Structure 1
């Protein structure tokens, strides 16, 4: 009897609870219905109360359904499934071989083909990459074997465990890590990897109380053995003509302290350096930073209008070869890991496939290609694109999103929010818990090593001992008819300087070397 009594009580409680829940649901629906029909902002919700709300829900889910159910392996943007899968396999150090033929359409205009040699390089003759020295006129030049490195991602834009994993992974792989414009955090130093310190337009990490460049801070940073070079950022691929954007929700107390800004307020950098308004100013800044730090200094820019680069070469001739930047980092309109306005993301700046060959031709014709090293970035996450960049004259390749994939990025397109589901671009500790720095460091290192080996494999197939021997003559591109033509036939090198000017510039460079 007692058991029956408690059973009846439990049943009554469940019935009351069920009725209460149903009542709350109906009340909520009624409130939403009234809200929909009385508002005048959203047409769909007013015309179709309650039902119209599903539009926004399905629109949000569509980003994920397209990726997993509808998009083909080679058609998704910004990165297709085939490229992402290659990075995931390389990062996990698993077999990247495929069977039954390529899924790449070899008749698709724009696809690249490398010309293999009849007699490829044997394994005992092969090299991964020869060492390259940057900053020959510096007190402390930088020499590295790495061709593939980690592009600028600020602490704040990405999380603490992500920075830790990148720092440790870069050290294991022997490549450099660019700090991004957000200053130097303890997590950049933790892995003891080579670092490139980026000086952004707000000069975070190297500014005084008034926001001006601080020689004292520069000297302090230069004294750190991990910092090998300094990069002055003029612009970046995601948003040429606009400074860095870090939303308020991502400006934690620690991020604010490192940057020297207020916690919880958006970090919006100026769209340009207030003390760099001409090529003369740019060279003055480069030489000042180089003199204070004793380390190689270059600049990063997205190429759009090109005449300023001609003016830069002219000014270098006036001031002497020592005044030249030690490197130029070319970013591409294909960039996009940072938060950016869509008009700039979609329609401003030249893609790397146009800017890289042009800048290389400029430096070669001016006799400065050996003096100024070229670093490129912009959707170069797979071996064939890195090999293409080397063939077009790049000395080094940087990647941000490739290493984000190595960390576990699923292309959720939420980098500019504080809601990244993989913990890479969020400061939400609940979302960060799945990102183990120790495990992800191994993946970062494996991705870098496997990509480098694959690029070398392409070079060896072309009969070359190492990747930097690749040239445009090793490249064909599919044209609109579906047939391949030499890359140089669709990307002819422009004559930017006369032969006499070339001889003069080369002679001056040789004399001063």
Structure 2
């Protein structure tokens, strides 16, 4: 009896061991199957770069919905972009439902936030009109640029971002009918690959348009302008991440290809000067703008972070004295609270005005000097959601551009690895193993979806305010929360100034000729 019992017990043990081995075998086969799926799929960069393990991210995100009140930060607490901001971009890029339930998680009395004033009688569907077109450089260059899109892709250099990222942005921009700013790293074949409209950015180092001595080359300018897809030229004076300091590209990112496109040595840190040697004062800046526009035949403007605002008075006064032909065709205003570039923290945190302050100041200065019709305004800086973009239109921007918004559309998870060549989603790295997670064909669709859905939702805000389309939004349509948590009318906080009396009759006459 005892022997039978031991035999039976041994049989149970054997069966248990075999069962465990069988389960482990099935588990290994299943893990192998998941690995095979993850490395072959093209929709999720994290899963493609980190097969199987990357799936836990989605499990934790799902569990976070239930446990966030105990263990996780709330939607509005993360920086520089909180979870609510990123989630909206992710959903818009995937073209899934962007509605939310059970009330807003956004505090209604947070300083500097915007509240839009819904009309008693909102615009009805039969009264909707397409967004109006804006022309840049009309009457002042050979090939002015016209577009009815108001949301575009801001400057991100090839080198700072990867080959598949640039390809996806180029193709996605073409699908959405928006422009892609090249960033200061020169014009690469990947910018041209999607056949989208391009804005060529010329930084202080003149990458892509420099001669062997590093000076601006008219021949290189003509070569770049010879591409029909290059529609405008932007001279970068400063950027939000590091106002007062030139661009920084770490040596690890300066590959042979990037070095050839930029015209710099391979494998060395690429640090741009902190200013243009050709433009040390207002007149020299205007001379440089005129030179680039004359050589290229295309609209030319400049990008800057606003700090000391008084220099604009000198700039605009010289334009009125020299004539409107000397004026920039546009001004891109960047926010002083940082961007995609690597930068000293002291500059990123403490130097330059925020776009919330600088945009209305610049628009008002243009009105004051009677130059608003001549010079178009482009707003940049953390404007990634519909309310941000609608606010900029209310204040007076003609166009809004975003870099980090489109990085989120590409799959960026705000890992804060942009300056280390270790980006886990392949957006800002030149590591082939990490780049493989970003498949341009699928991400391009998300880029286009994000742009299109954002512009559509800005239109929804406009219609709620009683406007027929987004460009009809004005300051009277919004309030800004002050430091005491009280809404203040935007048109009272920033009243439109009157032009200086008697000073611009000749300028106005020149415009009408």
Q: Please tell me the TM-score bracket, short chain as reference.
A: 0.7 to 0.9
Which residue of 67, 82, 85 maps to 2:84?
82
Show the 5 A alignment for 1:457-496. Answer: 457-492=460-495
What TM-score results when the alignment is normalised by the length of structure 2? 0.84
Which residue of 143, 148, 151 maps to 1:145?
148
Q: In 1, Cα distance between the equivalents of 2:177 and 2:184? A: 22
- C-alpha root-mean-square deviation of aligned residues, in Å? 1.7
Q: In 2, Cα distance between the equivalents of 1:490 and 1:250? A: 45
In the TM superposition, what is the alpha-carbon distance from 1:148 to its structure 2 partner? Answer: 0.3
In the TM superposition, what is the alpha-carbon distance from 1:362 to its structure 2 partner? Answer: 0.5
Residue 26 of structure 2: aligned partner: none
**Helix, strand or coil: the match of 2:503?**
helix
Q: What are the superposed Cα offsets for residues 451-479 of structure 1, whole Å, 9 maximum, x if unpaired? A: 00000111111111111111111111223
Q: Does 1:505 align with 2:507?
A: no
Residue 182 of structure 1: aligned partner: 185
Q: In 2, Cα distance between the equivalents of 1:116 and 1:303? A: 32
**Helix, strand or coil: the match of 1:485?**
strand
Q: In 1, Cα distance between the equivalents of 2:193 and 2:501? A: 46
**Helix, strand or coil: the match of 1:504?**
coil
Contact 2:245–2:275 (CA<8 Å) still a contact in 1?
Answer: yes
Q: In 2, Cα distance between the equivalents of 1:371 and 1:171? A: 27
In the TM superposition, what is the alpha-carbon distance from 1:481 to its structure 2 partner? Answer: 4.0
Show the 5 A alignment for 1:423-462. Answer: 423-462=426-465
Unaligned runs of 5+ in 2: 1-59
Which residue of 389, 395, 399 maps to 1:396?
399
Contact 1:406–1:447 (CA<8 Å) still a contact in 2?
Answer: yes
Contact 1:180–1:198 (CA<8 Å) still a contact in 2?
Answer: yes
Q: What are the superposed Cα offsets for residues 196-245 of structure 1, whole Å, 9 maximum, x if unpaired? A: 00010000000111111111111111111000000000000000000000
Q: Does 1:219 align with 2:222?
A: yes
Which residue of 252, 264, 269 maps to 2:255?
252
In the TM superposition, what is the alpha-carbon distance from 1:335 to its structure 2 partner? Answer: 2.9
Residue 230 of structure 1: aligned partner: 233
Contact 1:196–1:227 (CA<8 Å) still a contact in 2?
Answer: yes
Q: Does 1:104 align with 2:106?
A: yes
Q: Does 1:210 align with 2:213?
A: yes
Please say which of residues 244-253 and 120-129 is displaced more in the overlay.
Answer: 120-129
Q: Does 1:95 align with 2:94?
A: no
What TM-score results when the alignment is normalised by the length of structure 1? 0.84
Q: In 2, Cα distance between the equivalents of 1:93 and 1:491? A: 36
In the TM superposition, what is the alpha-carbon distance from 1:125 to its structure 2 partner? Answer: 1.9
Contact 2:409–2:446 (CA<8 Å) still a contact in 1?
Answer: yes
Show the 5 A alignment for 1:403-418. Answer: 403-418=406-421
In the TM superposition, what is the alpha-carbon distance from 1:323 to its structure 2 partner? Answer: 1.3
Q: What are the superposed Cα offsets for residues 80-125 of structure 1, whole Å, 9 maximum, x if unpaired? A: 0000000000000000111111111113233211011111111222
Q: In 2, Cα distance between the equivalents of 1:465 and 1:239? A: 39
- Count of aligned pairs: 446
Q: In 1, Cα distance between the equivalents of 2:489 and 2:190? A: 46
Q: What are the superposed Cα offsets for residues 229-283 of structure 1, whole Å, 9 maximum, x if unpaired? A: 0000000000000000000001111011101111110100000001110110000
Instruction: Summarize the Cα distance change of 1:240–1:247 in structure 2 as closer, same or farther, 3 Å threshold.
Output: same
In the TM superposition, what is the alpha-carbon distance from 1:506 to its structure 2 partner? Answer: 5.1
Unaligned runs of 5+ in 1: 1-63
Contact 1:185–1:258 (CA<8 Å) still a contact in 2?
Answer: yes
Please say which of residues 462-471 and 400-409 is displaced more in the overlay.
Answer: 462-471
Instruction: Summarize the Cα distance change of 1:86–1:509 in structure 2 as closer, same or farther, 3 Å threshold.
Output: same
Show the 5 A alignment for 1:41-440. Answer: 70-136=72-138, 137-440=140-443
